[in-house]
Amino acid sequence: MLFIEKAEQAHSLLHELDLDCWLTFVRETGDRPDPGVELVLGTSITWNSAFLFGKDGTRIAIVGRYDSENVRATGVFPDIIGYDEDLRESLLVALDRIAPSQIGLNYSLHNHTADGLTYGMFLLLQELLDGTPHAGKLCSAGTLLAKLRARKTATEQQRIKAAVATTETIIANLTPQIKPGLSEAAIAQIVHQEFEQRGLASSWDWDYCPTVNSGPDSPAGHVQPQDDILVEPGHLVHIDLGVRQEEYCSDIQRMWYVRRPAESAPPLDVQRAWDTVIRAIEAGAAALRPGAIGWEVDAVARQVIVDAGYPEYKHALGHGLGRTCHDGGPLLGPRWPRYGDAPLQSVEVGNVYTLELGVATSAGYIGLEEDVVVTADGCEFLSTFQRDLMLI
Amino acid sequence: MLFIEKAEQAHSLLHELDLDCWLTFVRETGDRPDPGVELVLGTSITWNSAFLFGKDGTRIAIVGRYDSENVRATGVFPDIIGYDEDLRESLLVALDRIAPSQIGLNYSLHNHTADGLTYGMFLLLQELLDGTPHAGKLCSAGTLLAKLRARKTATEQQRIKAAVATTETIIANLTPQIKPGLSEAAIAQIVHQEFEQRGLASSWDWDYCPTVNSGPDSPAGHVQPQDDILVEPGHLVHIDLGVRQEEYCSDIQRMWYVRRPAESAPPLDVQRAWDTVIRAIEAGAAALRPGAIGWEVDAVARQVIVDAGYPEYKHALGHGLGRTCHDGGPLLGPRWPRYGDAPLQSVEVGNVYTLELGVATSAGYIGLEEDVVVTADGCEFLSTFQRDLMLI
């Protein structure tokens, strides 16, 4: 049902964007996944294959004969052509039938979730269309793909929410086990056991999902939790994790403070940093609504951090969350060259975002990350906003 | 160690192919895997990243700051530059240092395992190099990637052999459980339990690895095993399966015949078809040696089938096997348009292949698949050649 829901959304987008035809041109998607295949097909294909959506409602799949049964079973494509030796002729017949003025392909300079077409396949497609009336019609369907992915349907929102709930249960199970002497690697192992018991994949690479940081000497970033860094009194413990459940991801960061003997609360500088992070995320959430521009939402949160005298975080406030952990779409991030045009785009209803940022303190890194969905007049938290440091 | 082994092989290939520089240009490889990253890095990266190999022995990685620790931990790249806002300047400095006349990129029209660069990333790279002396130097490193992947090192061969051995153990455990009344889906479930007990992934999509076919009415191809097709006396039972173990795949097909009451052997037409399949695979294996052209090896086996009066199989005799099940490289297949130039290439020492083909009979599909490695003067079976139908 989900794939048919998304296929119908794709047809609406062809109208909205006034694009005659969307073509996903792929092979061996088990090894080289493509965003179009992920969103509307949900099974993998082997030989060179073409999936065509016409603005007129046409949906045609041209696939190798051994894949045709599986594609049929998805129920998404009323017209399925299974070929043996060459797909060229069937592709030209299908394009003649749709008679498009433009053919949108899966590529995008700045959104990796709309960029599945390989350069080799692009060249091959040019070769196949060479000398036909369709040769000059190729263009990017990046905007269609980006919106198709980022506008989460009710089913998609519900699945992300469920993945977040599972993650929060795992955090709740972990909390009583955190104590001085435990290594970062041991904490990661506890989390991995929770994943395995549920038969769940991690949202990103298993080796550093979760990342775990205890104390000020732990390296930040996408780093494997260390065997030789142990939780100590006076440490902040930080975790960044997510699960992939029913093909949809969560992504949250949570924090504990391990009290020293006779300490009832974190040191003042830690508490001040924590309060600042909370205020920054609140400010970002307050600015997040349909029509807001990505970089503006980031700037609001970033300003809170800078005004409090902390250095800027070196990443975006929020990224799309869904089928993948970094799910593309308008980015709530600064206008840095490496983000391209992603922060220049407008937020839409149904977009799901992380809101995340952090600062370094003498007790370790403070990083917090919540997951939210954009509603008609603002946003709604899918995670339970951690407003207080958990104390160990 | 494996990745360093492959990185050294890459440097030799730059010399052999007289290419000054190999550039892997990628982002978010957790979602969009790239063959270059798979072969020499083995960890995933997030932001736009460049991995450069110079013919002079240079190896430079330019990655987002949060990925730099992980890339350092691989030990493959002596020079690692972690960036925050933009990789352009570091990329130009690195290219100036290598001063190449050509820059090879990861794309290929006809080999998907050498085709990781997306069209969006290609356009972005053009934009980054625009106006610099490196702008006109881009070319395909497809041949380098194809050879790097297909020439399996000793470590790689040993891993594939181990994956094949595990698969044969699973088959041996399955045989006594096959009996009339069992559904195709139930057989697949037994195999899946064997995979799960060992914590192994399937070589291709879980849903149709294994494929299972019992009797003449079972649909062929990449199809999920059916709930309502049951093993019956007089059926051929066919299975196609593989495991991914230590990142390397097996891929074999095995066959049983379920005797009718009072039947001691399969019917004559079944036995004749089986013997033909065996002879065809033997003939293919005998023709497989370094320097052989892919399509010629296929033609030898195909001719045995045709001479015996059966229709040609609608696929290649053999595909490369390794990190992925369809691992690219010279294809042992016919010169059909959809295979492009893959069947025109020469076989090399260290290539690992499947040898597979089949024919339909009144009792069901006969398909057999073995795995072999190319040696200095021929080939060696990694699997235990099934010369006789297993009788139930």
* Reported ipTM: 0.85
Q: What is the pLDDT of residue A341?
A: 87
Q: Which of A114, A149, A184 is a domain's end point? A: A149
- State whether B97 and B161 are in the same domain: no
Q: What is the pLDDT of residue B222?
A: 63
Contacts of B26 (CB under 8 A, 6+ apart): B32, B34, B36, B37, B45, B48, B49, B51, B116, B117, B121
Domain that residue B62 falls in = 2-149
Q: Which of B126, B149, B172 is a domain's end point? A: B149
- State whether B241 and B266 are in the same domain: yes
Query: Residue B91: pLDDT band by 50, 70, 90 thresholds?
Result: very high
Q: Identity (one letter) of the amino acid at B285?
A: A
Measured between alpha carbons, how far is B305 from A388 in angstroms, rounded to an integer?
73
Angle subtended by helix axes A142-150 and A2-16, to nearest 10: 130
* CA distances (Å), origin B67, targets A51, A273, B44, B47, B120: 35, 25, 8, 8, 22
The Cβ of residue A334 has, within 10 Å, a number of other Cβ atoms equal to 20
Q: What is the pLDDT of residue A66?
A: 85
Q: What is the pLDDT of residue B31?
A: 85
> CB B114 to CB A120 under 8 A?
yes
The Cβ of residue A99 has, within 10 Å, a number of other Cβ atoms equal to 12
Q: What is the pLDDT of residue B180?
A: 97
- State whether B334 and B224 are in the same domain: yes
Measured between alpha carbons, how far is B274 from B256 in angstroms, rounded to an integer?
11
B27-55 exposure pattern, b = at least 16 Cβ within 10 A, e = fewer: bbbbbbbbbbbbbbbebbbbbbbbbbbbb
- State whether B67 and B174 are in the same domain: no
Q: What is the pLDDT of residue A338?
A: 79
Task: Please compute, for residue A53, the number of CA atoms within 13 A of its CA located in the half-sphere on the CB side.
Answer: 28
Strand pairing report for B252-257 and B390-391: parallel
Q: What is the number of CB-based contacts under 8 A between chain A and chain B?
A: 178
Q: What is the pLDDT of residue A145?
A: 96
Collect all residues of chain B within an 8 Å Cβ-Cβ radius of residue A221. 65-70
Distance from CA of B264 to the nearest CA of A (A): 34
Measured between alpha carbons, how far is B239 from B254 in angstroms, rounded to an integer?
5
- State whether B71 and B87 are in the same domain: yes
Asked if A284 and A318 count as a contact pair (C-beta separation under 8 A), the reply is: yes
Measured between alpha carbons, how far is A47 from B275 in angstroms, rounded to an integer?
30
> CB B66 to CB A220 under 8 A?
yes
Mean pLDDT of chain B: 95
The Cβ of residue A172 has, within 10 Å, a number of other Cβ atoms equal to 11
Beta-bridge partners for A352: A373
Region of poorest pLDDT, from B17-21, B58-62, B68-72: B68-72
CA nearest to B126 within chain A: A109
State the Cα angle at B69 between B63 and B75, rounded to 5°.
90
- State whether B97 and B157 are in the same domain: no
Backbone angles phi, psi at A270, to 5 degrees: -70, -45
Q: What is the pLDDT of residue A364?
A: 95
Angle subtended by helix axes A154-174 and A184-197, to nearest 10: 130
- State whether A314 and A372 are in the same domain: yes
> CB B43 to CB A110 under 8 A?
no
Task: Please compute, for residue A350, the number of CA atoms within 13 A of its CA located in the half-sphere on the CB side.
Answer: 12
CATH number of the domain to which B343 belongs: 3.90.230.10
CA nearest to A84 within chain B: B314
pLDDT tens, residue by residue, B264-296: 999 999 999 999 999 999 999 999 999 999 999
Region of poorest pLDDT, from A32-36, A60-64, B368-372, B381-385: A32-36
Residue at token pair 């006789």? B388
Given a cut of 70, whether residue B381 has pLDDT beyond it is: yes
pLDDT tens, residue by residue, B210-241: 999 999 998 776 678 889 999 999 999 999 99
Percentage of chain B beyond pLDDT 70 is 99
First and final CA of chain B: distance in angstroms?
A: 45
Token pair of B231, please? 């093993």
Angle subtended by helix axes A88-98 and A119-129, to nearest 10: 80
Measured between alpha carbons, how far is B233 from B179 in angstroms, rounded to an integer?
9
Q: What is the pLDDT of residue A237?
A: 97
Token pair of A186, please? 């041991």
Asked if A73 and B224 count as a contact pair (C-beta separation under 8 A), the reply is: yes
CA nearest to A336 within chain B: B85
* Greatest Cα-to-Cα distance within chain B, rounded to the nearest angstrom: 81
Asked if A222 and A326 count as a contact pair (C-beta separation under 8 A), the reply is: no
- State whether B189 and B59 are in the same domain: no
Measured between alpha carbons, how far is A250 from A325 in angstroms, rounded to an integer?
7
Asked if B371 and B353 count as a contact pair (C-beta separation under 8 A), the reply is: yes
Domains contained in chain A, number: 2
Q: Which of A114, A134, A149 is a domain's end point? A: A149
> CB B70 to CB A208 under 8 A?
yes
pLDDT tens, residue by residue, B62-84: 999 889 988 999 999 999 999 98
Give DSSP secondary structure letters for A32-98. Answer: S--HHHHHHT-S---S-EEEEEETTS-EEEEEEGGGHHHHHHH---SEEEEESS-SHHHHHHHHHHH
Best residue of A118, A205, A226, A314 to probe chain B, by most B CBs closer than 10 Å: A118
Query: Residue B385: pLDDT band by 50, 70, 90 thresholds?
Result: very high
Of B230, B167, B231, the C-alpha closest to B203 is B167
- State whether A160 and A134 are in the same domain: no
Per-residue pLDDT tens digits of chain A, which is 392 residues long: 899 999 999 999 999 999 999 999 999 998 899 999 999 998 889 999 999 999 999 999 999 988 998 899 999 999 999 998 899 999 999 999 999 999 999 999 988 899 999 999 999 999 999 999 999 999 999 999 999 999 999 999 999 999 999 999 999 999 999 999 999 999 999 999 999 999 999 999 898 899 999 999 987 766 788 899 999 999 999 999 999 999 999 999 999 999 999 999 999 999 999 999 999 999 999 999 999 999 999 999 999 999 999 999 989 999 999 999 999 888 999 999 878 888 999 999 999 999 999 999 999 999 999 999 999 999 999 999 999 999 99
Collect all residues of chain B within an 8 Å Cβ-Cβ radius of residue A32. 32-33, 112, 115-116
Angle subtended by helix axes B142-150 and B2-16, to nearest 10: 130
- State whether A81 and A181 are in the same domain: no
A240: left (phi over 0), alpha (psi -120 to 50) or beta: beta
Q: What is the CA radius of gyration of chain B?
A: 23
Collect all residues of chain B within an 8 Å Cβ-Cβ radius of residue A119. 105, 107, 115, 117-119, 121-122
Of A142, A201, A193, A161, the C-alpha closest to A321 is A161
CATH number of the domain to which A36 belongs: 3.40.350.10
> CB A122 to CB B119 under 8 A?
yes
A318: DSSP letter: B
- State whether B168 and B110 are in the same domain: no
* Greatest Cα-to-Cα distance within chain A, rounded to the nearest angstrom: 81
pTM as predicted = 0.85
Asked if B247 and B272 count as a contact pair (C-beta separation under 8 A), the reply is: no
> CB B110 to CB A116 under 8 A?
no
* CA distances (Å), origin A340, targets A116, A336, B33, B118: 17, 7, 21, 16
Of B113, B242, B145, the C-alpha closest to A32 is B113
Distance from CA of A263 to the nearest CA of B (A): 33
Measured between alpha carbons, how far is A313 from B203 in angstroms, rounded to an integer?
41
- State whether A171 and A118 are in the same domain: no
Q: What is the CA radius of gyration of chain A?
A: 23
* CA distances (Å), origin B96, targets B79, B81, B89, B105, B134: 15, 15, 11, 17, 8
Token pair of A233, please? 């009194």
Q: What is the pLDDT of residue B221?
A: 65
Collect all residues of chain A within an 8 Å Cβ-Cβ radius of residue B63. none
Of A341, A339, A367, the C-alpha closest to A355 is A367
